[in-house]
């Protein structure tokens, strides 16, 4: 099972196993990582699962955000960066074993 490391805005790291086929948001929710809220449950209708993909992984997580994701990111509470993603839109694959994501200071 791929391991994903979630890093809080203050540098605290939590490494968890996330099943292939799940997304980064669910990996956080299933493991009690409170900095990812996922208020809409992954329905692509909020931005409370905003995260920053670690620079070393941005090319490996798949295509850039589609239009709907990009529009929702504009309403995120924290700063939007080139590596910003909605974690509900990044599916975990074996190739993402070791993925590191950084979480913003706030989702609201």
Domain containing residue 36: CATH number:
3.10.20.30
CA nearest neighbour of 101 among 52, 56, 58, 67: 52
Whether 107 maps to a domain, the answer reads: no
With bands split at pLDDT 50, 70 and 90, how would you rate the model's confidence at 25?
very high
Tokens for 11, please give them: 């540098």
CA nearest neighbour of 76 among 63, 65, 61: 65
Domain interval for residue 78: 3-102
Report the pLDDT value the prediction gives residue 40, as an integer from 0 to 100: 96
- Supply the pTM of this predicted model: 0.96
Whether 108 maps to a domain, the answer reads: no
Whether 40 maps to a domain, the answer reads: yes
Which neighbouring-strand residues pair with 85? 51
Total count of domains within the chain: 1
Whether 30 maps to a domain, the answer reads: yes
Arithmetic mean of pLDDT, 53-64:
94
């Amino acid at each position: 099972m791929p391991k994903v490391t979630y890093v809080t805005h203050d540098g605290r790291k939590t490494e968890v196993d996330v099943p292939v086929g799940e997304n980064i948001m669910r990996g956080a929710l299933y493991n009690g990582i409170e900095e990812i809220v996922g208020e809409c449950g992954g329905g692509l209708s909020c931005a409370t699962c905003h995260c920053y993909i670690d620079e070393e992984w941005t090319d490996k997580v798949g295509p850039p955000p589609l239009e709907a994701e990009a529009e929702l990111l504009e309403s995120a509470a924290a700063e939007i960066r080139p590596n910003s993603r909605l974690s509900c839109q990044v599916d975990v694959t074996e190739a993402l074993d070791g993925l590191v994501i950084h979480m913003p200071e706030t989702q609201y």
